[in-house]
Structure 1
Amino acid sequence: MDTSKKRRVGSLVMIGVLALSAALSGCSNGNEKKTESSTPATTLELKNGKYDPPVSITYLRPWGPDVKFKSGEDQDNNVHTKWAKEKLGIELKNQWISPSTNNAFETKLRLSLASNADMPDIISYRGEFNLVRELIESGKFVDAGELFDKYASDTWKAAVNEDPSVWYPYMQDGKKIGIPILDYSYNGDPVMWIREDWMKKFNLEAPKTIDDLEVIMETFTNQDPDGNGKQDTYGLTIGFKNWLNTWMSEAGWVFGAYGTMPNQWNLTADGKLEYGSVTSGAKQALAKLQSWMSKGYIPEEAGVYDETKAAEEFTAGKAGIVVGPHWMPSWPLEDVKKNNPEAEYKAYPIPSGPNGQAGRHGTSNGNGVVLINKDMKNPEAFFTYQNYLFDHYANPKEGDEFEHGFAEGYDWVMVDGKPSTDASLTGGYAPEKYTLTFDGARIPNLSMTTLAKLASGEEATTPFEKKIKSGVPVPMLDAAKIVLDQKDIVFNQMFTGAPSMTMQMNNDILTKMEKDTFSQIVYGKTSVDAFDSFVEKWKSSGGDQITKEVNEWYDSVKSGK
């Protein structure tokens, strides 16, 4: 899972692209197909949907802490790489391997760019938008939009077309340099997770407003909810080392209660885009966070906690509230009961502010990008691979090889003659996380429509629905229903284009100014009124010009120009 959900030089014409039949979608149809390149000596053959001889794809992607392998398997030798070679005749090879933590992957890739090292065939990346920008501007990657139009299957194209704006972050001069990696709709939209056993202990009621929530936070902070005789708990855990509005353990919803969302461009009632960190609502939210910090409701270390570290305060039983996505029961909230078998937690809606307004950040259908090296000899091989996953894995039919999951004994097992994806039975292995695009293939609208169907009590009928029902814990199902019930409170990031000219020149200083000011206010080291001088300086230091450029971009994409 990416971290911040951040979102292209010129025209690069692919030379020597091998022409596959328009019918090629990576599916096995029993017919032999052969493609000829512009160089007669080079051929790439598909026999029964498999390349013979095999074709290799070199690639880079960060490897996150959520990816684990069985003994004897690793990034280059596992159930997924074996499947790719045996089923499709595609050999997958990491150019080098680096973890996603502590910016290790980003640092190594930047060093490769700086030294003009050869790039792999494919780079798949989720994370820092500035790095995506640097990769695109390196000139080493092809106009992937042309390849996508030519080789992508109908299933994959339809999934992307659910929201064509997923292309915007990776466009340059009208060219689609990067292919967006799709995620499930609403997948990162947050709910409020609360220790339900603590709620019961003090007979507390569900928080409908920020004022209600403060009663709960005061109790969790000062009335020894864990019963250890020490005042060592917090009401709410947040981590804003990376930002206040991020993917987990976040505080964007506090700003939402005052009608804005920080660190993103929001749509106003008059149809214009405004930067959410410089509005009057942002000042009110910062005042509230300052109050909570002064009362000990949030950890003093919040400013140095990243998202995962902050969540550990909740899983360790030190904090009673954390805000994050509906899928948190799968990770990291499974540690709550490991640390305390008596503990309970439950999802609640995002509470409203003084004017009855609630707000949360929205989630794009895109979550990362695939860049294709302009020197890749056989780029269609990547499409053969990804088409197969979209056509067979994303929403499998009964009898398909992926009907129950990616691989038996990994993400699903047979229990009493029935397939189960229960992580306690499978060991928590997830082969889709080994894939080039992190999750195999996802059709954006599929997950939430399925969860909504199951939450309403309807029967699971398709393999995808049965898989979801088998593997989703009840708290996650309840949380997904809350996400859908509150879909009208979403603040979507409305600017997803390439950085404007002034952004490229001024964003670093503006971002530092913003983070420094917000941190100083939250920690009470300066008055909330310092926000006003920050806004004035932000506007005069390029903010006003950026606002103009952002709105010009928005007008252009609305009009299709």
Structure 2
Amino acid sequence: MLDTNKKRRRLGSMVMVGMLALSAVLSGCGNGGDKEAESSTPSAPLELKDGKYDPPVTISYLRPWGPDVTFKSGEDQDNNVHTKWAKEKLGIELKNEWVSPSTNNAFETKLRLSLASNAEMPDIISYRGEFNLVRELIESGMFVDAGELFDKYANDTWKDAINEDPTVWYPYMQDGKRIGIPILDYSYNGDPVMWIREDWLKKLNLKGPETLEDLEVVMDAFTNQDPDGNGRKDTYGLTIGFKNWVNTWMSDAGWVFGAYGTMPNQWNLTEDGKLEYGSVTPGAKQALATLQNWMSKGYIPEEAGVYDETKAAEEFTAGKAGIVVGPHWMPTWPLEDVKKNDPDAEFKAYPIPTGPDGQAGRRGTPNENGVVLINKNMKNPEAFFTYQNYLFENFANPQAGGEFEYGFAEGYDYVLVDGKPSIDPSLTEGYAPEKYTLAFDGARIPSLSMNTLAKLANGETPSTPFEKKLDASVPTAMLDAAKLVLDQKDISLKQMFTGAPTMTMQMNNDILTKMEKDTFSQIIYGKTSIDAFDSFVEKWKSSGGDQMTKEVNEWYESVSGK
């Protein structure tokens, strides 16, 4: 159930929770004790004059500032090209309540302390990160039903983007209300394809695999027929790493389970509209038997259980493994190291293979990667929508001749060389002013990126500024991979439980997760029979799994209305 960026299921420290609870009780005796119950009436909506507020309106906000956000000399979080743009274009002054880095949980710690002491919250909190903190914010009662504001103030471009997948609201709902506005990301951005050493296939006169049966032929050859030609038996078929889990963001084995109709370590939607835990299905047993077989034959590394995602991928880039499974963007990292280590190496993306019954499945990635919360005491919440509406209308898919045609700001994310735009990092120095925005990336329309990449992969001429920018920056291998992702969009299996940990999860999830990891690892390594899976499922169900399933489905019914 872990997502790499959000880590939604990780429970916070009970000691910290207890300390914060005590602090909240004590602070409740002070002046701020009744703040949760207070809610000022919003002011009458401000009028725009020529598209901007005059006099300017201030939006106070909080957001974590990651190490990837850099500023030019003389600029900072409160004074930069973006804040100047917001004031000059829209009459909006953006002001950080306070600034804290995202590293070492510094932002989270400071925000939790503010919550516990009933400190005044800013107008807006934008956050991507620890899901438990999101739930603490939502449950604090300090934030308005943003869904109502969204329905009233959001423009059609933004609404259309969010309606591409209405489930993006689910993580941020409470009692049927949409408390948080999801920050949109590009669709299928982390969905995997199969990357294979094409030069090895050619040397051994093999075709790309379409089924697991085909794949085993390829893996056997990569393991036993010296594909790198060095005269030593030092290669193998597939690199995976399941130190963190078998279903993760790169170098994973979730697609093996997908070939048997399930996805482990997440809650999947069944044909009858219910949610089931993918690790306890009959398909999971078949997948584990397959992985056990591959391990016994040396097709996957003995160190798979101690490899994390990055370490496992290094086996491919180092020329030890012939196959790795991961996102379409891997040619930009880490697969660029393949040719550094072997200038004659070639790699190519292939579709996720099908199982014995013709099924295929891959780990799906959500269309959202963060949330915006609006303080119920914000006097003019429509100002935030004026800001974000403008970005969706003008920045998300910019028009030719528009102010964002080449990027956010000249001299930052692009420069003009002899009158032509360039995004060469050596010239732009890596500045990305869209990262200064309240929603971290400006504004994103989920379907736009992958559809554009697929269009370019088909050989169509880029016509819009967005298409031209991608065409100038994306390698051909990534275009081809994106097309494969879209061609197989129907096999994407997303985590369908995105709510707060249920009561049983809070009490039993650590024990159940450890039991699951231990059992899966022992089966894959052949230390126990595949039949141990059956006893694991029985114990999982009786140790809280059945109750957890009931609670998860009650949550799903509450948010989906199904």
Query: Structures share a fold, TM > 0.5?
Result: yes
Q: Is the 8 A contact 2:239 2:300 kept in 1?
A: yes
Counterpart of 2:50 (choices 13, 21, 30) is 30
Letter in 1 for 2:547: Q
Of 60, 64, 75, which residue of structure 2 is paired with 1:61? 64
Partner of 1:385: 387
- Within the candidate set 323, 326, 337, 1:324 is matched to 326
CA contact (8 A) 1:3 1:246 kept: no
Structure 2: distance between partners of 1:472 and 1:281: 37
Contact kept in structure 2, 1:420 and 1:467, CA below 8 Å = no
Q: Deviation of residue 109 (structure 1)?
A: 5.1
C-alpha displacement at 1:400, in angstroms?
1.2
Deviation, 1:274, is 1.8
Change (3 A) 1:115 1:510: farther
* Aligned ranges 1:436-455 → 2 under 5 Å: 436-455=438-457
Q: Which is further off, 382-391 or 217-226? A: 217-226
Name which of structure 1's ranges 530-539 and 446-455 shifts more when overlaid on structure 2.
446-455
- For residue 362 of structure 1, what is the aligned residue in structure 2? 364
Gaps of 5+ in 2: 10-35
Pair 94,521 (structure 1): closer, same or farther in 2 beyond 3 Å: farther
1:366–1:215: structure 2 CA closer, same or farther, 3 Å change rule?
A: same
**3-state SS of the aligned residue for 1:445?**
helix
CA distance in 2, matches of 1:71, 1:239: 42
- What do residues 263-312 of structure 1 show as CA deviations (whole Å, max 9, x unaligned)? 22223333433211101111121222233344443344433444344334
* 2:82–2:436 Cα contact (<8 Å) kept: yes
Counterpart selection for 1:17 from 18, 30, 42 = 42
Mapped contact 1:59–1:95 kept (Cα < 8 A): yes
Distance change >3 Å, CA 505–CA 376, structure 1 → 2: farther
Q: Contact 1:4–1:246 (CA<8 Å) still a contact in 2?
A: no
Structure 1 stretch displaced more, 390-399 or 372-381 = 372-381
The number of aligned residues is: 533
Q: Aligned with 2:325: secondary structure? A: strand
Question: d(CA) in 1 for partners of 2:44 and 2:130?
Answer: 34
Distance between the aligned counterparts of 1:320 and 1:424, measured in 2? 33
- Cα distance in 1 for residues equivalent to 2:266 and 2:37: 31
Which of 259, 274, 279 is matched with 2:281 structurally? Answer: 279
Aligned to 2:12: none
Partner of 2:18: none
Whole-Å Cα distance in 2 between the matches of residues 526 and 111 of structure 1? 47
**Local SS of the residue matching 2:446:** coil
Provide Cα deviations, 1:402-451, integer angstroms capped at 9, x if missing partner. 11222334433446654344667756554333433232211122223323
Where in structure 1 are there 5+ consecutive unaligned residues? Answer: 33-45
Instruction: Measure the CA separation in 1 of the matches of 2:391 and 2:51.
Output: 20
Structure 1 residue 533: Cα displacement: 1.3
2:462 corresponds in structure 1 to: 460
Cα-to-partner distance string for 1:203-238 (whole Å, 9 max, x where unaligned): 332011223223333444455545566655453333
Task: For 1:309 and 1:111, locate their aligned partners in 2 and report how far apart those are by CA, in whole Å.
Answer: 36
Deviations 1:243-276 (A, max 9, x none): 3222222221010011111122223333433211
C-alpha distance in structure 2 between counterparts of 1:199 and 1:425, whole Å: 39
Specify the SS of the correspondent of 1:131. helix
Give the counterpart letter for 2:101 in structure 1. S
- For residue 302 of structure 1, the aligned residue among 301, 304, 310 is 304
Q: CA RMSD in A?
A: 3.4
CA separation in 1, counterparts of 2:508 and 2:113?
Answer: 24
Q: What residue number does 2:168 align with?
A: 166
What does residue 182 of structure 1 align with? 184
* Secondary structure of 1:19's aligned partner: coil
State the partner residue of 2:19.
none
CA deviation digits over 1:463-505, x for unaligned, max 9? 2222222222211111111111112222233334444443344
SS of match in other structure, 1:329: helix
For 2:30, the equivalent position in structure 1 comes to: none
| Length-normalised TM-score, structure 2 | 0.83
Aligned residue runs from structure 1 range 235-274, under 5 A: 235-274=237-276
Local SS of the residue matching 2:394 = helix
Residue 288 of structure 1 aligns with an amino acid whose one-letter code is: T
Q: Which residue of 1 is the match for residue 550 of structure 2? A: 548
1:156 match: secondary structure: helix
Amino acid in the other structure paired with 2:244 = N
What SS does the aligned partner of 1:132 have? helix
Query: Are the counterparts in 2 of residues 241 and 305 from structure 1 also a CA contact under 8 Å?
Result: yes
Task: Specify the SS of the correspondent of 2:141.
Answer: coil
Shifted more, 451-460 versus 72-81: the winner is 72-81
Is the CA contact (8 Å cut-off) linking 2:78 and 2:94 kept in structure 1?
Answer: no
Partners of 2:229 and 2:163 lie apart in 1 by 53
Work out the CA distance in 2 between the residues paired with 1:94 and 1:294: 57
Aligned partner of 2:538 among 524, 536, 540: 536
Identity of aligned residues (%): 77
**Contact 2:235–2:321 (CA<8 Å) still a contact in 1?**
yes
Distance 2:86 2:321 in 1: 44
